[in-house]
């Protein structure tokens, strides 16, 4: 018999344990988030099983904690003889999702948070990066993670004494990270460490000499690197690969056009809200790095693609983000490769484009290269790409070889 939403709701109503009054509402929340019927039925079944187990253990709703979830998952279990899948593979995530829902409703205590002295200092560091340095939220989050790992590696759960730091502590941490990271990842680690040590110097707890103890990482490349631009033909094929008869295809085409025509960063596409589009004026409000906002013209083809998604694709949802996930839970796109990066990667595969670079930034580079070849100046390109420093735009001078060739001096002794 095929699972149905009515069957899932009936299963939730049949529960008699401490969670039973709230299981129908939990199932309703799953339906509102657009989970598939089979998924709702499976989550409802596991929720009622957890409810029944809590009843046998004599656990009240207000007392439910993560330890009970762990004990439930480890309980003795005999799978059916005809079961081919690994037993209870999805059970941990389903039960933890139920616990998260109950905590969100204030029905049981939140998970206990263990705070070590490093957390207090890291929070102060993050505030400094936000207020004094104006860094992006994603960058601050990455710096926080690296800094906390460093402090815990050096001090553990003890009080933090930055004055006790030595060069060997810093070098030892970088060597420890080098065992698991690539050269590119290790460069991010040393950048975060230097930022934290500058913060410590700003507080007067270390001297400048300790900052120079952070080792450099050898990663051979051009300085600055050459822009990684997708060709115009490949970009066209990627955009045309979207199936406009599907919701996902209409959404992906709008996203790809924003990348290709306006040169938006992936994170800027993710943070777009419904109210950021001024349809009457034909403008788009873009939230860039460091919280800066910029009004950009909305090209006709981009506006038509967004309108097609909004009218015949985007599901009704309380989330105000312009682009939503295609799978439950229904919310805005995720940052990182699971969001715009996956849209670009899937489109490249559909179009049969074997690009050496899979990320969304190649469309931004391609826009700058086309502008340069069309006669635009570097300041004009920097204005379109919303660069705060001319150095960020100067990398595109390398790609216009025809303009650079007359500047090359003849080789001494040659006939030219």
Catalytic residues: 265, 289, 361, 364, 387, 396
Cα→Cα distances 411→130, 404, 415, Å: 50, 16, 9
Whether 217 contacts 182, CB under 8 Å: no
CA distance 23 to 25: 5
CA distance 51 to 57: 10
CA distance 170 to 190: 9
Strand order in the sheet with 293-297: 277-278, 283-287, 293-297
Closest Cα to residue 263, out of 380, 398, 394, 390? Answer: 380
Residue/partner pairs of 168-175 with CB below 8 Å, 24 or more apart: 170/197, 170/210, 170/213, 170/214, 170/215, 171/213, 171/215, 173/149, 174/214, 174/215
> Which residue reads 């992006």 in tokens?
136
Structure tokens at 145: 């993670």
Structure tokens at 331: 């919310």
HEC string for 113-178 = CCCCHHHHHHHHHHHHHHHHHCCCHHHHHHHHHHHHHHHHHHHCCCCCCHHHCCHHHHHHHHHHHH
CA distance 347 to 239: 7
Cα→Cα distances 6→12, 47, 50, 94, Å: 10, 16, 20, 19
- In this structure, the number of other CB atoms found within 10 A of the CB of residue 362 comes to 24
Q: What's the number of CA atoms in the CB half-sphere (13 Å) around residue 354?
A: 0
CA distance 323 to 251: 7
Structure tokens at 359: 């990320």
Helix axes 342-351, 247-262, angle to 10 degrees: 100
Whether 23 contacts 48, CB under 8 Å: yes
């Amino acid at each position: 018999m095929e699972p149905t939403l009515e069957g899932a709701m009936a299963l939730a109503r049949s529960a008699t344990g401490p969670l039973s009054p709230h299981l129908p509402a939990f199932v309703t929340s799953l339906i509102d988030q657009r989970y598939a019927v089979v998924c709702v039925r499976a989550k409802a079944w596991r929720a009622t099983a957890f409810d029944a187990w809590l009843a046998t253990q004599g656990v009240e709703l207000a007392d439910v904690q993560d330890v009970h979830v762990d004990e439930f998952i480890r309980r003795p279990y005999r799978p059916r003889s005809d079961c081919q899948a690994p037993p209870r593979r999805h059970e941990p995530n389903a039960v933890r999702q139920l616990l998260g829902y109950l905590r969100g409703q204030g029905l049981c205590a939140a998970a206990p948070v263990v705070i070590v002295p490093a957390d207090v200092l890291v929070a102060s560091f993050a505030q400094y990066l936000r207020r004094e340095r104006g860094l992006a939220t994603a960058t601050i989050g990455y710096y926080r993670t690296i800094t906390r790992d460093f402090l815990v590696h050096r001090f553990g759960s003890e009080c933090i004494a930055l004055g006790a730091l030595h060069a060997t502590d810093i070098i030892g941490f970088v060597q420890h990270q080098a065992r698991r990271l690539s050269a590119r990842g290790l460069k991010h680690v040393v950048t975060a460490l230097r930022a934290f040590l500058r913060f410590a110097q700003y507080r007067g707890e270390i001297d400048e000499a300790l900052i120079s103890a952070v080792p450099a990482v050898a990663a051979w490349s051009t300085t600055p690197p050459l822009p990684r631009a997708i060709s115009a033909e490949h970009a066209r094929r990627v955009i045309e690969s979207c199936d406009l008869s599907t919701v996902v295809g209409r959404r992906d085409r709008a996203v790809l056009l924003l990348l290709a025509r306006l040169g938006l960063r992936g994170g800027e596409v993710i943070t777009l809200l419904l109210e950021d589009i001024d349809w009457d004026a034909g403008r788009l409000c873009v939230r860039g790095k460091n919280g800066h906002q910029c009004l950009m013209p909305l090209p006709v083809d981009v506006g038509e693609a967004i309108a097609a998604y909004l009218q015949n694709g985007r599901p009704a949802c309380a989330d105000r983000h312009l682009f939503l996930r295609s799978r439950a839970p229904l919310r805005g796109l995720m940052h990182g490769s699971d969001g715009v990066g996956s849209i670009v990667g899937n489109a490249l595969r559909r179009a049969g484009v074997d690009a050496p670079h899979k990320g969304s930034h190649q469309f931004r580079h391609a826009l700058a290269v086309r502008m340069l070849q069309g006669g635009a100046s570097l300041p004009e390109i920097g204005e379109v790409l919303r660069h705060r420093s001319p150095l960020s735009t100067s990398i595109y001078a390398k790609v216009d070889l025809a303009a650079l060739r007359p500047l090359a001096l003849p080789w001494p002794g040659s006939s030219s």
